[in-house]
Amino acid sequence: MAGVGSAVRRLYLSVYNWVVFVGWAQVLYYAVTALLDGGHEGVYAAVERPLQLAQTAAVMEILHGLVG
């Protein structure tokens, strides 16, 4: 049964890492698009929400590592 738990853990970590990667890629895409469209003034407005989600996921990962 340990093999099943290990496989589930690997699947969870793979999905989690891909979701986090896509989130940061989205932040990068929005930032570059905003820079090209209107300069640096509009970058934060363009990336605010996905950036908050990506940073929250990063903080939660740190806290999870401290607890477990």
| pLDDT block averages, 10 residues each, the chain of length 68 | 79 91 96 95 96 92 83
Residue 29 lies in a domain: yes
The 3-state secondary structure of 5-59, one letter per residue = HHHHHHHHHHHHHHHHHHHHHHHHHHHHHHHHHHCHHHHHHHHHHHHHHHHHHHH
Residue 2 lies in a domain: no
Residue 34 lies in a domain: yes
Q: What is the pLDDT of residue 28?
A: 97
Domain count, the chain: 1
Q: What is the pLDDT of residue 68?
A: 66
Residue 3 lies in a domain: no
Q: Domain span at residue 52?
A: 20-67
Q: What is the pLDDT of residue 4?
A: 81
- pTM: predicted TM-score of the whole model, two decimal places: 0.81
Q: What is the pLDDT of residue 21?
A: 95
Residue 14 lies in a domain: no
Q: What is the pLDDT of residue 1?
A: 53
